[in-house]
Amino acid sequence: MNLSYKIFIALILSVVAGLVAGPESLPFIKWWIAPIGTMFISLIKMMIVPVVFTSLVVGMTSLGDMKKLGRIGLKTLGLYLCTTAVAIVIGFGVAGVSHPGVGMAMAGSASMEVKAAPSIMQVFVAMIPSNPIQSMAKADILPVIIFALFVGVGIIQVGGEKGKRLSDFFDSCAEVCYKIIALVMQTAPIGVFALLLPVVAQNGPKVLLPLISVIASVAVGCALHAIIVYSGLASALGKMSPVKFFHGMSEAMLIAFTTCSSSATLPINMKNTEEKLGVSRDICSFVLPLGATINMDGTALYMGVCSLFIANVFGIDLTMQQMGMIVLTGTLASIGTAGVPGAGLIMLAMVLQSVGLPIEGLALVAGIDRVLDMFRTCLNITGDAAVAVVVNETEKVHETEESLA
């Protein structure tokens, strides 16, 4: 049986088992089953820094020259930023129709400690690694990416025999990483079951019902964004049928849904995008690690829905100007969001602050954030692959034109 079916069956089984078991069985589940999920996550995490670093360096060196690198870099960033901004607008649109939170009494009991969100300047400063080894040890991915970009540029500029020796070395390292990831993925059905079971048993339907409108808005928004934007991108610019695209993505989407982490899904996303969507390895190695870190359409869409939700709960009418501000800060905040579970909730604080919405609203979202995270992470990684498909196709066209000229 194909691996994605196995993962899907594990997902369904975990939901059924979680609902049947309920919160009473939590001590047993936490003691015996949750650790298996933790082991699965650790196995994936073990590969994040090695795969991001080696594949980005290889991705850059295999592009060969600075001109091509610049062209692909610009295309990738442009697509990432545009799709993210569109995602927030779709979030607004869906929330504008579904009115989540309207008439909801402010739950006085809801409280949470709000961590201060970093300012935009702090996000930029934190991107530069003062000590790359330390960033790797802390799995701080954005600085690792910046370092990998510099190493890649350095190798290209050294060129010749010396440059080639090093790029061959990184190429072999990346190859080993991919092999290990394929092995780890064989355990995914068990890992997924063990990860989801405690979440379903703990939350059950009771926690979800009062906030069902927010969950539905995020889920519908994500589905719309995937159907409109990614199908559109894949078919119009990537010359790929949406059916092939989503079928090829199913395994990675399921892993994103259960792990709630773009970084953890990256290794699987790279494997699927190359093998199932036919994107060349050099493009995958460049576009996907970057996307897993800076391209978060799902997180941006969630910020749009949640800011409207919080405004509704507190009876605040957002002006067009405030909405524009949310699109801007939401796009930037999603770039600064780490690809780990729950990171979007902290960055949501930055967006709320930027338009003067009450930060206390975060407490309402916090209770269901894990569920929202599943949908947004799923969209986050799908967006990276859609851009990879487009960049791959446009590069093919460019190369054909160049060879004709």
Q: What residue ranges bind ligand ASP (CB under 6 A)? A: 260-262, 296, 299, 337, 339-344, 373, 376-377, 380
3-state secondary structure of 22: coil
Q: What is the DSSP letter of 186?
A: T
φ, ψ for residue 139, nearest 5 deg:
50, 45
Closest CA to 56 of 161, 234, 196, 177: 177
Q: What is the nearest approach in angstroms of ligand ASP to the Cβ of residue 347? A: 7
Nearest CB to ligand ASP, comparing residues 60 and 218: 218
Output 276 or 376, the one with its CB closest to ligand ASP: 376
Minimum distance from residue 120 beta carbon to ligand ASP (Å): 17
Tell me the closest approach of the beta carbon of residue 222 to ligand ASP, in angstroms. 12
Give the nearest distance from C-beta 236 to ligand ASP in angstroms: 25
Chain-centroid distance of CA 14 in Å reads 23
Distances, alpha carbon 48 to alpha carbons 135, 258, 311, in Å: 13, 17, 37
Given the complex with ligand ASP, which of 234 and 347 has the nearer CB atom? 347
117 vs 151 by CB, closer to ligand ASP: 117
Structural contact between residues 379 and 87, judged by C-beta atoms closer than 8 angstroms: yes
Q: Compute the distance between CA of residue 115 and CA of residue 100 in angstroms, rounded to an integer.
A: 25
CB of 346 to ligand ASP, least distance (A): 8
The Cα angle at residue 276 between residues 192 and 298, in degrees rounded to 5: 55
Shortest Cβ 303–ligand ASP spacing (Å): 9
Q: Which is nearer to ligand ASP, 22 or 342 (CB)?
A: 342
| Count of residues making up the chain | 405
Longest dimension (CA), the chain: 71
- Residue closest to ligand ASP when measured from CB atoms: 344
Shortest Å, Cβ 182 to ligand ASP: 22
Q: Which is nearer to ligand ASP, 177 or 255 (CB)?
A: 255
SS3 113: coil
Q: How far apart are CA 132 and CA 145, in angstroms?
A: 10
Q: From residue 170, give the alpha-carbon distance in Å to each of 66, 155, 164, 167.
A: 19, 11, 10, 5
Query: By C-beta, is 167 or 272 nearer to ligand ASP?
Result: 272
Of 162, 204, 175, whose CA–CA distance to 54 is shortest?
A: 175
